[in-house]
Chains A and B, each alone.
Chain A
Amino acid sequence: MPVVIEAGISAPKRRAGYLWLATFQGMVLSTLLSWPLTTHLLWFTLPFLGHFFWSAEYRAKRIRLALDGVQLSTDTAIERFQWHGEGRLSHAFMQLELSQDDGQRLTLTIWQDSVSAASWRALNMGFRVMQPTLRAAQDRQHLPDGAWLRLF
């Protein structure tokens, strides 16, 4: 029986704050160093670009991770994906490369500040425990028949 991890996902809290802080610093610096209006406008567009970029992200409300089966719940639907161990884990986010039977692919990014501390720790453990097994299984699938035996 695989480890099953379920977590609720909310909108990340800190990213918008960091972006506005960077924008504000940039605007202040550009004011102090020079006065061109275009520089101000360029800085001002940064949070909007960030907003549009993040709005395009897949917004899952809930994730259920059970080995290679990933179930994502959004406001309107529940979708099932497969995870083959591809992705990365950092202190700030976790990225899972998911796919569906029809070939549809999704890169799911879960930010640390979008889940509770407990969920983040559980997801971390799940990622670390499951990834090596799933990657090994994926590697075996992509090797020609019997080639994995010759590795030993």
Chain B
Amino acid sequence: MDTIEKQAEQLRRLVWHSRRGMLELDVLLLPFTENHYSALNETDKMVYRRMIDCEDQDLFNWFLEKSKSADSEIQRIVELVLDNARSH
């Protein structure tokens, strides 16, 4: 399997994992994964995948800015996702 195929498969998996139990999160995560994930650098991609593995309730609180992630890298990605959702 070549690199492009691997990347495509990784993206498909990530899109699948972005479909959460909480619809509120789907609204933010799916468009970001589909439209912006590929443009991230390798470090951010890794952090994004780490964020996707977090619990729904934590993600919900972070995205609603009720609390902040203790992991500053994840918090940065949360803010990146929010910035994208709020940009024209």
Contact = CB atoms under 8 A, between A and B. Distances in A.
Interface string A125-142: 110111011000000000
Contacts of A67: 86-88
B24 to A, nearest CB: 4
Interface string A109-152: 00000000010011011101110110000000000000000000
Interface in A75-127: 118, 121-122, 124-126
Interface residues of B, number: 19
A128 B64 contact: yes
B25 to A, nearest CB: 8
Given A67-B86, A67-B88, A130-B86, A3 B27 contact: yes
B42 to A, nearest CB: 22
Contacts of B63: 125, 129
B86 A1 contact: no
A1 B23 contact: no
Nearest to B87: A2
A5 interface: yes
Contact of B88 (A2, A5, A121, A125): A2
Nearest to B84: A1
Interface string B22-40: 1111111001000110000
A-B residue pairs, 8 tightest by C-beta: A125-B24, A3-B85, A133-B86, A121-B23, A125-B27, A122-B27, A118-B23, A121-B24
Interface of A: 1-5, 67, 118, 121-122, 124-126, 128-130, 132-133
8 contacts: A1-B84, A2-B87, A3-B85, A67-B88, A122-B27, A128-B64, A130-B85, A130-B86
